[in-house]
Each structure stands twice: as C-alpha cells, then as structure tokens.
C-alpha cells in the first residue's frame, strides 16, 4: 500500500462535504433524537391577542377563529405565573373582541384570554404583556 498525497483542492472538497453532512445531521437530528421541550404548547383558534396601555388602563383586543364560543374570560397576572380572573366578555361574533381593564395596577402586567366553547371546553390564548405607568 502506498500513500498518495492529497492536493489542496481534494482536501477542501472533503472538508466541505464533511461540513455539509454535519450541518444536515444537526438540522434533521440524530438517529435517536432526545425529546425536546415544546415552545408551542397548544394549537388553537386564537388568531392574535394584543394589549396596550390606554391612559391608566390596559386595553385588550383579540381574534378567535371559531363560531362555537359562548364567551371569553379575561385573566391577569403580575408575575406571569399566577393568573386571576378580572372580567368576562360575551362572544360578539365580530372579527375583533375588546376588553378594557380599569382595575390594573402599575407595573408589568400579563394577560391571557380563555375562550369558553358552547360544549364546555376551553382554549387559552398566548400570554400578552404590557407595562402600565400611572399618569396623574
């Protein structure tokens, strides 16, 4: 057996091929992938949820892409973990549903909306956040 020296072009080609294989394996995962935590915790009918400061209040608006809803429950949190119910809104049947939270305290506030379906099941929106600053 004899050794044939590699030319720089052959070496670059082999390195490029090896790099392509490694990148492809990273993209598709290993043959025995380990379970990864999901960033998307549910797929539901909420199209979007928006919250913004309106004077000393928080104004929420959202869309829900289904007609089988009897109403919505609005939940608020000051720590992002524990949510309390702050209001309810009937299903208006329109494209956007709105709610104004006039009892909000200053600080960073988190909101989510729960759609209560006619069959009794519920779906939660993603969490939205707003910073409330008191104006006198």
8 within a domain of the structure (yes/no): no
pLDDT given for residue 14 in this prediction: 61
25 within a domain of the structure (yes/no): no
20 within a domain of the structure (yes/no): no
CB contact at 8 A, 60 and 72: no
pLDDT given for residue 38 in this prediction: 31
Question: In CATH, what number is assigned to the domain containing residue 71?
Answer: 2.60.40.10
Residue 130 scores a pLDDT above 60: yes
Percent over 90 (pLDDT), the chain:
43
40 within a domain of the structure (yes/no): no
Which structural domain range is residue 69 located in? Answer: 46-132
Report CA torsion sign: 118, 122, 126, 129. Answer: positive
Three-class SS state of 39: coil
**Segment 26-52, tens digit of pLDDT:** 545 545 444 433 333 345 788 888 999
> Using CA atoms, how far apart are residues 63 and 11, in angstroms rounded to an integer?
57
How many structural domains are present in the chain? 1
97 within a domain of the structure (yes/no): yes
Query: Which of 7-16, 76-85, 101-110 shows the lowest mean pLDDT across its residues?
Result: 7-16
pLDDT given for residue 30 in this prediction: 46
What's the chain's average pLDDT?
A: 77
CA distances from 120 to 67, 114, 115 (A): 14, 12, 10
3 within a domain of the structure (yes/no): no
pLDDT given for residue 24 in this prediction: 52
pLDDT given for residue 19 in this prediction: 52
What average pLDDT score do residues 86-100 get?
A: 85
> Using CA atoms, how far apart are residues 12 and 16, in angstroms rounded to an integer?
6
> Using CA atoms, how far apart are residues 51 and 80, in angstroms rounded to an integer?
15
Residue 81 scores a pLDDT above 70: yes
Residue 112 scores a pLDDT above 80: yes
100 within a domain of the structure (yes/no): yes
Q: Are strands 84-90 and 69-77 parallel, antiparallel or unpaired?
A: antiparallel
78 within a domain of the structure (yes/no): yes
Give the long-range contacts of residues 8-12, CB within 8 A, separation 24 or more: none
Whether the model clears a pTM of 0.75, i.e. scores above it, the answer is no
């Amino acid at each position: 057996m004899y050794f044939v020296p590699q030319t720089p072009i052959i070496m670059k080609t082999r390195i490029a091929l090896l790099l392509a294989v490694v990148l492809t394996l990273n993209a598709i995962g290993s043959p025995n992938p380990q379970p990864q935590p999901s960033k998307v915790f549910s797929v539901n009918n909420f199209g979007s949820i928006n919250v913004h400061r309106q004077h000393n209040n928080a104004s929420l608006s959202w869309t829900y892409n289904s007609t089988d809803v009897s109403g919505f429950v609005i939940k608020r949190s000051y720590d992002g973990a524990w949510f309390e119910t702050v209001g309810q809104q009937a299903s208006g049947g329109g494209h956007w549903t709105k709610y104004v939270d006039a009892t909000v305290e200053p600080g960073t506030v988190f909101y989510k909306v729960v759609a209560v379906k006619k069959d009794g099941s519920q779906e939660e929106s993603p969490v939205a956040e707003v910073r409330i600053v008191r104006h006198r």
